[in-house]
A and B are shown apart, each in its own frame.
Chain A
Amino acid sequence: MPTLTLIQAVNDGLKVSMRQDESVLVFGEDVGPKGGVFLATEGLTAEFGKARCFDTPLSEDGIIGTAIGMAANGLRPVCEIQFQDFIFPAFDQIVSEAAKLRYRSGGQYTAPMVIRTPYGGGIRGGLYHSQSGEAYFAHTAGLKVVIPSTAYDAKGLLLAAIEDPDPVLFMEPKALYRHEKGEVPEGHYTVDLSTLRTVREGDNVTVFCYGSMVPVVEKAAAKAAEQGIQCEVVDLRTLLPLDEQGVLDAARKTGRCVIVHEAPRFCGYGAEISAMIAENIIEYMEAPVRRVTGFDTPFPNTLEHHYLPDERRVLDAIEEVARY
């Protein structure tokens, strides 16, 4: 089985999908002959032609607006927003159009499409190449929000997203694009959406995370184990619709929970997990839920390593919750 980086797995997933389904097409800014700024779409125009992988004008509203029309008319568009920070001109198209089309037409018109976009920090991208906006989108009925953290999941979840009948925002942790490597099967396979991945099993503290934070949490969990604290590490993978039962089961297992994301804390995704635990299984809890997140500030450039949750901060929270 070949070993691929996360971005190579995305590229492979796109190729597999385009080979088996002629209605799949890929477009966005610089995704054509250049192959995308991160090279996720490298080689697609050469293999599939300009009609199926092409550059668009510099307009996120246009990219996602046209994708909706394509999807409503029988195609399976996979469009790219170059950085998630640039997605907001298309917020209206995603939130009010793609996500609501099935509902408002009683299923007469639907938008089976994928919006791929790199998100998160760690590349010295400053305010506008580093944001994690998942909470804005996870608040939207009708949309699916998926974030892989491994090469295997990146390909399998991407193929599942492309084949899904509903619009999917596929957020790729750009910090892991080349750092995350793993064995990836050749050809077609899928990873079911709305399923969790247990990264590591443990009985003392449950840590929920996703995307770029997964390897950070894994390192912290390994350090915690040295002190005798065994962590159950859960990669949420699909933020919407979430496998709620899986989350509650994992939380109940230890009664001590930490939630980690690099997005800001206030109204962040972790707040929902925390509320879900409080509302449903508070009687099983042995300690207050702790969140380790980015700060409620814009994303800084030079000091990004202080902004991003690191092994230090995650370990500190695990220790505190374990001791409580």
Chain B
Amino acid sequence: MQIETAPEPFSVIGANGDVGGHKVTLSDEELIQCYRTMLTVRAFDDVCMKLQRSGRIGFSVPNKGVEACQVGAASALRQSDFFFPSYRDFGMALYHGVHPVEMMHNMFGNNLDAARGRQMPVHFSFTDPIKYFSISSPIGTHLPQAVGAAYAHQMRGEDNVTLASFGDGGTSSLGFHSALNFAGVWKSPVIFLCQNNGWAISCPSDEQTASDGFAIKGAAYGVPGVTVDGNDVLAMHQAVSEAADRARRGEGPTLIEAVTYRMGGHSTSDDPSKYVPKETLEEWAEKDPVKRFREFLTVRGMWTEELESEWSAAAYEQVNSGAKEAESTEGPRLETIFSDVYAELPQHLRRQGEAAFDLAKRKGDADAGGGAFPL
């Protein structure tokens, strides 16, 4: 057997923003939507980093370097499709119109957060305007769930697709194997998007797997795999569009490896300077996805310094006002510990809740302390 070597990642935007012979299928409006979403992701990261450093939120995850994966993929999907994201994917939600304030409610864990502050920051859950499935911290568990959701689409005869997004580390999980295997057998309308950003916290991707890239992993499951330049919005858009078309035609799942690089830490609690080689960072800084897309827009006459200032200011305004609103929103009430465990409150939770309320009445509220997330 001859082992194939991984092909060069598929790219659209070349040097100086030139797309060569590639056809651009996104409208001008959509192209600007992609770019502005990337700016909003950057603004969100920046503001959250400051909020975290000043002790106003506990945790965040930086997205610098991987914005094109999220936005390019989102731009290829419909609002009726079902997103099963990772924690580093919220550009997908922003692209489809989730407002930053909705995200900030989660970052502050307040009473308007969908989960009423029960989850850590960045564990979003949205149903409107897109189905953005509630984020789980364990890695890879959402992948078979995405296949199950796709089965519901198949069974009802709908042509919606499901996007399952994960990182290079996620391919080592049990869920990855189960999901690819089931999806291959069921010909599920699923797009598996593996964002190979080089790192699973501090473990480099070449210590994650000995396989020659990640796209090749699809072959054993009968799932076609493609490798895409993850820093190229248009390449991502095209790859996900083609995979979505295949899925909608009933031809089954696709595994997309998006080759990109995590330019920041795993989270606000991580110090990547301890393990990320400086030279590699410098090399990838040259391939910055925002810069790359900006060059393309400039060639098309759609970008100017003035527009950049306007768009950037608007992004910061949305994010900052969202943060302000979320910070001043009241926190979750004590009863939210006990609600939403079951559809109806069972006897034992009613008793435990009543005891907690009674104690709070007699002895005052518990001390929130100064917990800091270590990871």
- Give the B-binding residues of A (Cβ under 8 A): 25, 51, 56-57, 59, 61-62, 64-75, 77, 89, 92-93, 96-97, 100-110, 141-142, 144, 164-166, 194, 241-245
Contacts and interface: CB of A to CB of B under 8 A. Distances in A.
B174 A73 contact: no
Contact of A65 (B118, B178, B343): B178
Nearest to B84: A69
A49 to B, nearest CB: 11
A244 B347 CA distance: 7
Nearest to A56: B182
B293 interface: no
17 contacts: A57-B181, A61-B174, A62-B182, A65-B144, A69-B145, A70-B152, A71-B148, A73-B148, A75-B152, A77-B148, A102-B342, A104-B115, A104-B136, A108-B114, A166-B342, A241-B348, A244-B351
A152 to B, nearest CB: 24
B185 to A, nearest CB: 6
What range describes how many residues of B lie at the interface? 35 or more
Given A61-B174, A103-B340, A109-B133, 19 more contacts: A59-B178, A65-B144, A65-B145, A66-B144, A66-B148, A67-B148, A68-B145, A69-B144, A72-B149, A73-B82, A75-B155, A93-B141, A93-B144, A97-B138, A106-B114, A106-B340, A108-B126, A141-B341, A241-B348
A59 B342 contact: no
Nearest to B345: A241
A166 B345 CA distance: 12
Residue among A72, A96, A107 with the highest chain B CB neighbour number at 10 A: A72
A166 B344 CA distance: 9
A62 B181 contact: yes
A166 B342 CA distance: 6
A156 B162 CA distance: 35
A57 B185 contact: yes
Given A61-B175, A62-B179, A65-B175, A104 B150 contact: no
A69 B152 contact: yes
Interface of B: 82, 84, 113-116, 118-119, 123, 125-127, 133-134, 136, 138, 141, 143-153, 155-156, 162, 174-175, 177-179, 181-182, 185, 340-343, 346-349, 351
B343 A165 contact: yes
Nearest to B156: A74
Contacts of A25: 155
A106 B342 contact: no
A48 B346 CA distance: 35
Contacts of A166: 342-343
